[in-house]
Amino acid sequence: MTNFRSYDQLTFTPSSKVTIISGPNACGKTNLLESLQLLAFSRSLRSASDTNLIKWGSDFCLVSADFNKAADSTLEISATLQIKNGRLIKTFRHNKIAQKALANIGALSLVYFSPENISLISGPPPARRRYLDAALSLVDKNYRYHLVKYFAALRQRNALLKNNHGINSEDIHHWDHKLAEPAVEIIKKRRQFIDWLNQELLANYRFFEPSTQSLNIQYLSSLPLLNGDLSTDQFRLFLQNSLNQDLKQRTTTIGPQRDDFSLSLNGRPLSLFGSRGEWRGVLLSLKALESEFIYRQKGTRPILLLDDVFSELDETRRAAIFQLIEKHQTLITTANQDSMKNLVKKGAEIFAIKKEYLTSPVVRQ
């Protein structure tokens, strides 16, 4: 990669199994993982603006990686971000052939796990919607298409609602029709994913807490409760019924952008009554199931990116991650190399990031 975050230039060949990237805080370990996020999702999962991925003082960055898809098949994915006339332009290529950002998503499958993911349990709804969208986008191109289509129409409808000079009802109804089809598909796929998680979550979590009686995940829709699938006509009717409220708030108040999910452990809301240890255990189960879901849908194991996760886990939860790692190519960052001794004994490769080496800071030990 070139001019990415803190790096001028870097060429890096990780192990096909487990790679440990060690170094002090703020030395650029997470930036390495973020470069793979860009290749997998066509954007960063950490930054609100992809402009921040370009090294300060530069006007472009480049990330390129080769992946072995099969014994005789290699895929090179590259991403170039360039600032031209004040605008950010992103270009993606597969084996030198240009790809749209939407088509690039899912060519590389990965699961990212960091302490910040605790917001899935205790944070606001957008964190949980991102979890659903990330898993589904990697495996379902139609889901990606409907997500983009929905939010493009939503921006137009919201712009009308913010118009201080009044609105034309025909214009609003036009965007209601544009929203209906993708909204119905997004909600349907999210509910199906939640249903699958519900079937698997308790058994996975009992690895940590064998006496757990129940662990449930529930999709929370901004729409009235329905029996059966939602239709496009029903969604348009809900939009019409919420128009007065939308006008007051000057935004669309129902739809996938307002949905959420909740978790309950032994019949009590996890976010309110769960301990930090229970939060971490459920989070680990959700990430493990995200990985399993991708594998079942695509037939290949995603790459695991574990960003400084071991420092906050007890021995039981560390053992669960070690078990998960055995199935995947994995990149791990840590500021405490001693905590990785078990993995090193099993053949994990260690790289150290040295602050003084700015052009090529990754050094094999």
- In 3D space, the residue among 266, 350, 300 whose CA is nearest the CA of residue 19 turns out to be 350
Distance CA 79, CA 263 (A): 37
Residue 214 burial (10 A CB sphere; 0-12, 13-18, 19+): exposed
At 83, phi and psi to the nearest 5? -95, 115
Every domain of the chain and the residues it spans: 116-294
Q: Produce one character per residue of 185-207: b if its CB has 16 or more CB atoms within 10 Å, e if not.
A: bbbebbbebbeebeeebbebbeb
Strand partners, 67: 75
Q: Which amino acid is at 206?
A: R
pLDDT confidence bin for 353, thresholds 50/70/90: confident
Each residue of 176-232: pLDDT tens digit?
999 999 999 999 999 999 999 999 999 999 988 889 999 999 999 999 866 678 999
Greater pLDDT, 31 or 339: 31
CB 49 within 8 A of CB 362: no
Question: Which pLDDT does position 352 carry in this prediction?
Answer: 85
Query: pLDDT tens, 110-147?
Result: 999 998 899 999 999 999 999 999 999 999 999 999 99
- Per residue in 35-68, pLDDT (tens digit) is 999 999 999 988 889 999 999 999 999 999 999 8
Does residue 357 register a pLDDT over 80?
no
Confidence at residue 93, expressed as pLDDT on a 0 to 100 scale: 97
Looking at the DSSP assignment, which residues form a beta bridge with residue 303? 110
Distances (CA, A) of 127 to 124, 168, 261: 6, 34, 10
Place of tokens 């939407």: 102
Specify the pLDDT at position 2: 95
CATH, range 116-294: 1.20.1050.90
Residue 176 has φ and ψ, to the nearest 5°, of: -60, -45
- Distance between CA atoms of residues 30 and 120, nearest Å: 19
pLDDT of residue 355: 60
- Give the mean pLDDT of the chain: 90
The DSSP element (H or E) to which 282 belongs, if any, is helix 276-298
Give the pLDDT score at 317: 82
Contact in structure between 260 and 129 (CB atoms under 8 Å): yes
Mean pLDDT in residue range 1-17: 91
For residues 339-345, average pLDDT: 80
pLDDT for residue 360: 41
363: pLDDT strictly greater than 70: no
Please name the amino acid found at residue 337. Q
- Left, alpha or beta for 4 (phi > 0: left; psi -120 to 50: alpha)? beta
pLDDT of residue 45: 87
3-state SS, residue 363: strand
CA–CA dist 249, 114 (Å, integer):
35
- DSSP-assigned states of every residue in 105-165: TTSS-EEEE-GGGGHHHHS-HHHHHHHHHHHHHHH-HHHHHHHHHHHHHHHHHHHHHT-TT
Q: Is the pTM of this model over 0.85?
A: yes
DSSP 191-208: HHHHHHHHHHHHHHHTTT
Sign of CA dihedral 218, 222, 227, 230: negative
Secondary structure (3-state) at 325: helix
The mean pLDDT value for 315-332 works out to: 87
Cβ 137 vs Cβ 147: under 8 Å: yes
Which residue matches tokens 């996760």?
A: 309
The pLDDT value recorded for residue 361 is 43
Q: Tell me whether strands 303-307 and 110-113 are parallel, antiparallel or unpaired.
A: parallel
Q: What is the dihedral of CA 233, 234, 240, 242, to 10 degrees?
A: -160
